[in-house]
Structure 1
Amino acid sequence: IPPLSSRKVAFGFDGSGVTEKGPHPTELSLIQKGKMLDAGRISVEAVPPGASYSQTFVSRIDGSLQYYAVTPQSSTNTASSALFLSVHGAGVEASGQARAYKAKDWGNLVAATNRRPRGFNWEDWGRLDALEVLAIAKNQFKPNPQNIYLTGHSMGGHGTWFLGATYPDKWAAIAPCAGYPTLKEYGSADGVIPDTSSNPLEQMLLRSGNQSDVLKLTANYKPLGVYVFHGDADRTVPVTYARQMRKLLGQSQPDMSYYEYPGGSHWFGDHSVDWKPLFDFFKWHQISADSAVNTIDFTTANPGISSAYRWASIEQQTQPLLYSRIQLTRQRTSITGTTSNVSLLKLALNEFGAKTPVMITLDGTPALTYTTASAQDTVFLRRESGQWVQAKQPDAWQKGPHRNGTFKDAFNNRMVFVYGTKGTKDENDWNIQKARYDAETWLYRGNGAVDIIADTEFSLTSYADRGVVLFGNATNNAAWQSLLADCPIQVERNRIRAGSQQWQGDDLGTYFVWPIKGSKTASVAVIGGTGLKGMKAASANQYFAGASGFPDFMIFGLDMVRDGSKGVRMAGFYTNNWQLAPEHYVVNGQMSGSN
């Protein structure tokens, strides 16, 4: 824990002696080498069986302690139970969210936190928190895998629209309550998100947030039951958002129920979420077995966030973070369909059995025949020169669902902040202070905890498979060589080089990501510059804002603070092999070339 800073540290204690419900005063002693450093008292509440409760877990995002809340099933017969994941509104705790629901006799209700009452709008790390809690709840309660449901209120209504469209195979039905579909229209505490631009560089930056645009993903709702619930007098999230989705889905959504509560404000009591017709609607829906799903229509903007639906997976894109779509039909001995912006496709062939010839025809190109080796076989197909050909499974170094880039991807996998100590006094001060500032921001926004270490303490062995956020450059951070020696973007004092591009001066800053060699999942993010002016330019952005999109790399000057995107020198994405290619980046004022 750096001096003059704070950090949450998890510890365990034995509560088995508690037999009465209610608050229990608990004395804490902080002891070091037998000497008491501090003492304090907290109150821990014990709840009776059957009441809503909170349960902690250690998050894989950053190793911090988080919690989720549960309203347990009222029936003792838990065979074939359902699981309801509820996502809360802005300013609401998960514990309060769970208590808004009466216990159901046919399933357990679990409320995730979004990392904070406001957190990340259920996007970015809020999305990851919801997925962590869903996985933990499945393991804890062992629900019927066909009976998994998603609902939420207000910001959680947005979370329901977003998580429902992003992961349509995880739910039997979804029910957004008083929700808005997309942050681009509603905005957030971080401000309104831009929507379009005619500037090629701004288009590249905006592309980085495509995964957040629910309105482009509405075809993904088709397999789901959708129940839309909204008060018709809501002044916080106007009912026009519900009507917008009713109109948008009305022509295409085969299974939707819609109800406006007469006179209902934004919150009109617990039945704003605990609405009996909503849960009756859930009861009528189940997730179909994969063997029964022979038609797929799935869209994603980022395979690193959402790549698969059922037996098909978009492993790599042709154009990074533009929308990719697959529309496939499976028959007894064949798979046919169309794709858009897909470079590598994976098909699970479980339902065809072993040693079965399967004819695959995509995009009107000549069919190829693949004979299954086993009943659990998988085939990879790559698009080359307009044709689909069988391909080998790519190695873990390439981009894929396991690690697909964007700058923010490195803020995961129990990330560690590494600050440079080999520069001038001013450079070293900025490196450590920026690391501390970001760690405090992460605590404030994401209820998290980060290890902050000097570059001289870092080694790939000691921090294997952990995300790294590196503060500084190749001149002043000793960890650069072990993490970024093979990266086509190099930053040193007074110079940045990106492939054939090069810029001079002490006022240039950068954010970029790079896969960590020897790890199949972890990445390093660089926050730094060519000098103190450039480093200060790198202080200007809020990458912890939910749904803010960042490409794989961007290089900018201090003038960006004054002139906006005009001050960005270059931005874009690596290829699937982590190379720089002119068609995937924009240099300000030109699509490619040298400066």
Structure 2
Amino acid sequence: MLNLGYAYTEVESEAETMALVSTRKVPAFLVNGKVFQGEPYFGNFFKTAVKLHKEKNRILVKFAGKYKRKFRFQITPTNKKAIFLEDFTKPDLVPELKQTEFPIALPVLNIQETWLRGARIVFEEKNGSFHQEFELDPIPPFGIVKMPLLLKLDEPRKKDLDFRIKLMREGVLDAADLSLETKKLEEPHRITFHSKIDRSVQYFSVRYPKNYDPEKSYGVIFSLHGAGVEASHLASQYSSKDWAFVITPTNRRPYGFDWQDWGRLDFLEVYNLAMKRFPINPDRVYLSGGSMGGQGTWHIGLHHPSLFAALAPQAGWSTLHVYQPFAMQPSRMFASPEVLVARERARNDGNNLFFLENAEHLPVIITQGAKDKTVPPMHARLFRKHLEARNFDVNYRELPDKAHWWDEPRSAGGGSDALDNDEIIDFLKKRRRSVPDAFKIRLYDLSLNNR
């Protein structure tokens, strides 16, 4: 029922050595009794540094999966002291924008029992003369730092830019290739920025309006990705609109925070950046998303209803209590009442049904596949029931032959039907933000309601 299990093995090593562990669907593992974090999903960008003892090493792996009991645990001895990880955050090059400065972030893993200090990152252009160096922040033993950098080109580039990047300290510790791809303005492309929240480098993707005119004012569809989906991929699932931008924030990770907490803050930061950067009419701002992004549409939309003209959630869950029941967890059965009360209070912020009162002046179009086994239709039907009981503006679309996600039939511009359906887009296009004379608001998070 819980699809959770453990695997045990023993590994012989001829000598004491460092090793790199690569995992998929492994939340945690133990090596010789020491607990390490794994990769609970299947992104393949996370590696863990461990130390193997001479002779026998005992390994216990905790694996989990919502459907299939399948995981990966791969351990590889290494003599390297530090390496780049694959999870680069980088922008696209858009020649029409004539940019020369680009925030970039490179993750570095320290594979030592001592601090890594005095290292630097070197960018060298392949087939070119560009060269730039950065000092790397100190990294604790076995730690990871995703280093925020500002790449400064000598002039705007019209073609792809290929680099050889090196991690240096008394020689080359590691090296990798990094490319910045060139995109046309009308193509979906990534824009990076330094976050004011924690100085990290984040990105969002944007699809400009068809036949874009900077002198005109446009609407904007903010679309929130589902679990495991890159924001850059989601932007490509929309066709170009002649009346609106399409902007896809990241939630800080492809899985992230269910668009709550850091995920909600990430959205708000991208919202503020977009409203300053692009000619957007604040009365024509729309929020959409599928699966985890559908939950994010409910969560963010109901916490910040004054920002939006309409919501368009697809396959979004009603509350985490229903989507992932905690009834069988040992902590639920054996924890003290005081601990359970504190945990429930922390989780109530994710109960979307509790905040439905905030949609009184916020039109909603709900899309749901009747054959969805990931987020069953009961969630969408609950939203519909309670919105209609309040006589709120809701349009409900339940497709009998669709499951969790679907592309076909493609929209006229090639977008995926699950989110870029003509009925959804027409619903949004006709709406403008409503500013009532009086309203009621229900909030739980004191960062929003602090008076």
In structure 2, how many angstroms separate the alpha carbons of the residues matched to 1:104 and 1:254? 28
Matched ranges for 1:69-468 at <5 A: 69-78=205-214, 79-187=216-324, 199=337, 202-269=340-407, 270-289=416-435, 293-304=436-447, 306-307=448-449, 315-316=450-451
> What amino acid maps onto 2:360 in structure 1?
K
Question: SS of 2:439's equivalent?
Answer: strand
Could you tell me whether the CA contact under 8 Å between 1:160 and 1:174 is conserved in 2? yes
**What is the deviation of 1:32?**
6.7
**What is the deviation of 1:208?**
2.6
Question: SS of 2:424's equivalent?
Answer: helix
Could you tell me whether the CA contact under 8 Å between 2:332 and 2:340 is conserved in 1? no
In structure 1, how many angstroms separate the alpha carbons of the residues matched to 2:212 and 2:246? 15
Could you tell me whether the CA contact under 8 Å between 1:194 and 1:206 is conserved in 2? no
- Corresponding residue number in structure 2 for 1:56: 192
In structure 2, how many angstroms separate the alpha carbons of the residues matched to 1:137 and 1:194? 42
In structure 2, how many angstroms separate the alpha carbons of the residues matched to 1:30 and 1:12? 16
- Corresponding residue number in structure 1 for 2:48: none
In structure 2, how many angstroms separate the alpha carbons of the residues matched to 1:253 and 1:54? 40
Could you tell me whether the CA contact under 8 Å between 1:70 and 1:111 is conserved in 2? yes
In structure 1, how many angstroms separate the alpha carbons of the residues matched to 2:158 and 2:342? 59
Could you tell me whether the CA contact under 8 Å between 1:29 and 1:39 is conserved in 2? yes
Indicate whether 1:42 and 2:178 are aligned: yes
Q: Report the CA distance shift for 1:7/1:253 in structure 2 as closer, same or farther (over 3 A).
A: farther
In structure 2, how many angstroms separate the alpha carbons of the residues matched to 1:73 and 1:204? 46
In structure 2, how many angstroms separate the alpha carbons of the residues matched to 1:299 and 1:18? 50
Question: SS of 1:164's equivalent?
Answer: helix
Aligned residues: 301
Q: Report the CA distance shift for 1:185/1:135 in structure 2 as closer, same or farther (over 3 A).
A: same
> What amino acid maps onto 1:281 in structure 2?
F
- Corresponding residue number in structure 1 for 2:158: 19
**What is the deviation of 1:54?**
0.5
Question: SS of 2:286's equivalent?
Answer: strand
Could you tell me whether the CA contact under 8 Å between 2:294 and 2:315 is conserved in 1? yes
In structure 2, how many angstroms separate the alpha carbons of the residues matched to 1:38 and 1:232? 50
**What is the deviation of 1:231?**
1.5
Question: SS of 1:218's equivalent?
Answer: helix
59-68 or 202-211: bigger deviation: 202-211
Q: Report the CA distance shift for 1:247/1:62 in structure 2 as closer, same or farther (over 3 A).
A: same
Q: Report the CA distance shift for 1:208/1:235 in structure 2 as closer, same or farther (over 3 A).
A: closer
Any idea what the Cα deviations from partners look like across 1:544-585, whole Å, max 9, x if unmatched? xxxxxxxxxxxxxxxxxxxxxxxxxxxxxxxxxxxxxxxxxx
Could you tell me whether the CA contact under 8 Å between 2:223 and 2:249 is conserved in 1? yes
Could you tell me whether the CA contact under 8 Å between 1:75 and 1:106 is conserved in 2? no
**What is the deviation of 1:226?**
0.3
- Corresponding residue number in structure 1 for 2:41: none
Could you tell me whether the CA contact under 8 Å between 2:249 and 2:267 is conserved in 1? yes
In structure 2, how many angstroms separate the alpha carbons of the residues matched to 1:273 and 1:130? 19
Question: SS of 2:148's equivalent?
Answer: coil
Q: Say what the alpha-carbon RMSD is for the aligned residues.
A: 2.7
The TM-score normalised by the length of structure 2 is 0.62
In structure 1, how many angstroms separate the alpha carbons of the residues matched to 2:428 and 2:183? 28
**What is the deviation of 1:139?**
1.1
Could you tell me whether the CA contact under 8 Å between 1:184 and 1:194 is conserved in 2? no
224-233 or 209-218: bigger deviation: 209-218
Question: SS of 1:149's equivalent?
Answer: strand
**What is the deviation of 1:175?**
0.6
Could you tell me whether the CA contact under 8 Å between 1:162 and 1:181 is conserved in 2? no
**What is the deviation of 1:218?**
0.7
In structure 2, how many angstroms separate the alpha carbons of the residues matched to 1:243 and 1:251? 12
Gaps in structure 2 of 5+ consecutive residues: 1-138, 408-415
Gaps in structure 1 of 5+ consecutive residues: 308-314, 317-595
> What amino acid maps onto 2:441 in structure 1?
F
Any idea what the Cα deviations from partners look like across 1:26-53, whole Å, max 9, x if unmatched? 22245679x7665432122111221000
Q: Report the CA distance shift for 1:188/1:90 in structure 2 as closer, same or farther (over 3 A).
A: farther
The TM-score normalised by the length of structure 1 is 0.47
**What is the deviation of 1:198?**
11
Could you tell me whether the CA contact under 8 Å between 1:68 and 1:111 is conserved in 2? yes
Question: Rg: which structure is higher?
Answer: 1
Q: Report the CA distance shift for 1:24/1:161 in structure 2 as closer, same or farther (over 3 A).
A: same
**What is the deviation of 1:150?**
0.3
**What is the deviation of 1:87?**
0.5
Structure 1 runs (4+) greater than 3 angstroms displaced: 14-17, 29-33, 35-40, 191-195, 197-201
Could you tell me whether the CA contact under 8 Å between 1:221 and 1:253 is conserved in 2? no
In structure 2, how many angstroms separate the alpha carbons of the residues matched to 1:51 and 1:223? 34
